[in-house]
Amino acid sequence: MSFIGALCILLVLTTLAGHLSNRIGVPSVIGQILVGIIVGPAVFGWIHLDNMINLFSQIGVIILMFIGGLESNLKLLRKYLRPAIVVAIIGVIFPVIMIGGACWAFSFSPLEAIFIGVVFSATSVSISVEVLRDYKSLDTKEGATILGAAVADDIIGVILLSIMISIMGTQGVATGGSSTSLTLVFIEQIAFFGLTYLMVKWIVPYMMRIGERLLMASSVTITSMVICLGMAYIAEAVGLSGAVGAFFAGIAVAHTPYRDTIENHMEPIGYAVFVPMFFVSIGLNMSFAHIGDSLLFVGILTILACLSKLFGCGIGALMNGFNLNSSYMIGSGMISRGEMGLITAQIGFSSGLLSDSYYSDLILVIILSTLIAPFLLKHAIHLLPADDKADLPLGVEDDSSEHASAS
């Protein structure tokens, strides 16, 4: 029952914090993360990140990304696939070089320095999705590029992590509690995207039609939840983030006549409990215990963590014809490391690639960059003209209206 009490307190505090954040013009996620920092080990130490809070936060990420997929436009994502891949590749190269070089200057071994650069090559789009939704910018050319780049970024990050673990002494990469060869990981991930195509094209529409015929309250919503959790589980099993699986599950459901119904049902489920727990958990991960001893290191790495994605992804966007403001928005949307950075760092720590002495420093840098990202993204969105939306491919608006009328 102690968890129930903690959950009750956190829901009250995150609701109030989100309200106050919106009143002063700050993204609500910032207020929710600050709640975790204040009540967690970093300040008062009243609540600690336990298994139950961690479980709720993981479900929160999955539901958040599922909703992000529901609100995304597959035609728009296809249209901006090429710039998304370029943005992702350059956005991985910059952190590896800049942060790796900085760590090498702090007397880390070359392999350790490169590995830390790989940790910061990851992008968590969960928080960016929330900010884009708040400011009605998810279904824009910039939003589509950020989402596509984040998925590509995740795949590249897994590949680099696998290679680094193999080079530094661990055979294969740990996925789902087992050691899998790098080749098998690639094959599994290719198979996952093949399955995703089948899900979008045939399997999910068929499952949703079956769900509608079941004599059960909210059967369509339950069916969509099964699809969401199932694809998240499969993505984790092949070494990708569960958030990627949930995102594609949302895209698949969005291309059925039940899109609006599912979106209206899933938002209360996610935002009533699970999504706030995800943002709180980021704050609960923070600790200032030894900050004085490594203030310079943390400060420099935090600056580089932000600049490496801002410039790397921004340059990638400029190379693909985006203007300066759009490129700034795309770079800002890729800064957040969130759960992807935390997961990558944890894998490195459990594999013996990161020592206790600087593991906590890296966690702090990941959280600080995650806190900064929504402010930059909000500023970038406000620089764009109000009517600067994606030039939608022919028929996109009609598709949306068809979904609405069908549901």
Give per-residue pLDDT as tens, 341-352.
876 786 677 666
388 confidence band (pLDDT: 50, 70, 90):
low
Bridge-partner residues for 174, per DSSP? 179
pLDDT at 328 over 60: yes
**Mean pLDDT, rounded, for 301-309:** 96
What number of other Cβ atoms are within 10 A of residue 52's Cβ? Answer: 14
CA 340 to chain CA mean position, Å: 7
pLDDT of residue 154: 73
Residue 404 has pLDDT above 60, yes or no: no
Decide if pLDDT at 96 tops 60: yes
pLDDT in the model for residue 165:
65
Quote the pTM value.
0.75
- Among 3.10.150.10, 3.40.50.300, 3.40.50.720, 1.20.1530.20, what is the CATH number of 61-170+181-385? 1.20.1530.20
- CB under 8 Å to 271, separation ≥6 — which residues? none
pLDDT per position as a tens digit, 218-250: 999 999 999 999 999 998 888 777 888 898 899
Sequence-separated (6 or more) residues with CB below 8 Å from residue 292? none
Mean local confidence (pLDDT), 135-154:
87
Distance CA 103, CA 98 (A): 9
Stated as kind and residue range, the H or E segment containing 336 is none
Instruction: Please tell me the predicted confidence (pLDDT) of residue 168.
Output: 62
Cα 355 from chain centre: 25
Provide the mean pLDDT of the chain.
Answer: 84
Residue with token string 């406000």: 382
Residues 6 or more apart in contact with residue 132 via CB below 8 angstroms: 138, 143, 146, 333, 377, 381
| pLDDT of res. 84 | 93
Lowest mean pLDDT among 165-174, 236-245, 373-382: 165-174
More confident residue, 78 or 90: 90
By mean pLDDT, which of 43-47, 194-198, 275-279, 348-352 is the weakest? 348-352
Give the up-direction half-sphere exposure of residue 123: CA atoms within 13 A in the CB hemisphere. 37
**Share above pLDDT 90 across residues of the chain, in percent, rounded to a whole number:** 48
Give SS3 for 178: strand
DSSP notation for 96-137? HHHHHHHHHHTT--HHHHHHHHHHTT----HHHHHHHHHTT-
